[in-house]
Amino acid sequence: MSLSNDLMDHEEQPRPRRRKKRRKGLVAMGIAGSLLLVAVIAVGAYFANLAHNFDAGTQKFSNALPNDDDRPAETGAYNVLLLGSDSRKGEKDEADVSGERADTIMLLHVPDDGGQAYIISIMRDTWVDIPGHGQAKINAALDLGGVPLEVRTIENMLDTRIDNVAGINFEGFRDLTNALGGVTVDVPVGFTNGDGETFEQGPQKMDGDRALTFVRERYSFTDGDYQRVRDQRAYMRGVLKEIGSPQTLANPAKVNDLVKKFSPFMQVDDSLSSTRAAKIAMKMGPNGLRNMKMMTLPNSGTGWSPDGQSIVNLDQDSVDKLGKAMKDGTMEDYSKSVGTD
């Protein structure tokens, strides 16, 4: 028996008023269904356009990941290495972090069960073993062997696999901030820089130029790079809250504009396509995006290398615990034990 016949059999002698009401209900359902179909088509077209802008706009790293078998095993978690380049010499217009030392190194970790995400800042002067080159500052790996050596160095340090790499030019922060209509940043420590520009402690709205000045500053602080890293995380938290807000996510044109303006300042490995990026975002969910937990790679303070360089000393025992938590899916417990910001 067909579905239409089944409906007719159940209503052989309906009362006229009830039939009219049901007919009206069916018409309403038909209109709603049509609107839903149009909405689905529109959203599909929007995401297709969004994906095109991301894939076409971003530059690509060639062979960014080590291609040998001697790497940590894959897990269900996502680990994305984020490399920041502050290319003020010549003011590059686009992303290109290969062949130079990274100014900012972060690791995005999304556990297998999703719902939460973590950003781990790695001090650029951290003294580590660089495969094939002995001990040096961790950001020197990029200069010595490109992105694959930077990946291998961090994988060896944490005994944790890195799945993708993204390079970001600081200049992109300016356009991203302006495209968002400004970003509210909760400034951890107030300061006045060498140019006389003052940033009061507490929440304040920043435009692109002011945000760029904020994330670059380190000379105004007694602990220099440490505070700069904390400030960069404060800015990132403000951006993520703005991007993850219902007002932004419900505005396809605004999201598309963000991708178009920011993607030229990004460089990604060949496998980090728009589809892959969407999977990572879906895994962390909107709550994970807006409430990302952030921390600094464990270290035992600053010191001097044998050849006289100012360095950050690695706390390997604590780093081992971090790497284990990333692999075992126990980052929530780990983060509670060490604290986050």
Separation of alpha carbons 292 and 67, rounded Å: 31
More confident residue, 214 or 283: 214
Range with top average pLDDT, 19-33, 121-135, 226-240: 121-135
Give the bridge partners for 303, in sequence order: 311
Separation of alpha carbons 308 and 141, rounded Å: 19
Query: Would the pLDDT of 36 be above 50?
Result: no
| Other CB atoms within 10 Å distance of the CB of residue 74 | 9
More confident residue, 104 or 26: 104
More confident residue, 238 or 290: 238
As given in the structure block, the two tokens for residue 260 are: 């178009």
Half-sphere exposure of 12 (CA within 13 A, CB side): 1
| Other CB atoms within 10 Å distance of the CB of residue 11 | 11
Place of tokens 């991708």: 259
For position 197, what pLDDT does the model report? 95
For position 17, what pLDDT does the model report? 53
For 58-338, the fitting CATH number among 3.40.50.10140, 3.40.50.740, 3.30.70.60, 3.40.630.190 is 3.40.630.190
The DSSP 8-state label assigned to residue 72 in this structure reads: P
pTM of the prediction? Answer: 0.81
| Other CB atoms within 10 Å distance of the CB of residue 26 | 11
More confident residue, 322 or 44: 322
On the 0-12 / 13-18 / 19+ scale of CB atoms within 10 A, 59 is middle
pLDDT-derived band at 78 (thresholds 50, 70, 90) equals: very high
- The angle, 0 to 180 degrees and rounded to 10, between the axes of the packed helices 171-179 and 208-216 is 140
| Every domain of the chain and the residues it spans | 13-54, 58-338
Q: Stretch 268-284: mean pLDDT, rounded?
A: 86
Query: Would the pLDDT of 339 be above 70?
Result: yes
On the 0-12 / 13-18 / 19+ scale of CB atoms within 10 A, 114 is middle
pLDDT-derived band at 103 (thresholds 50, 70, 90) equals: confident
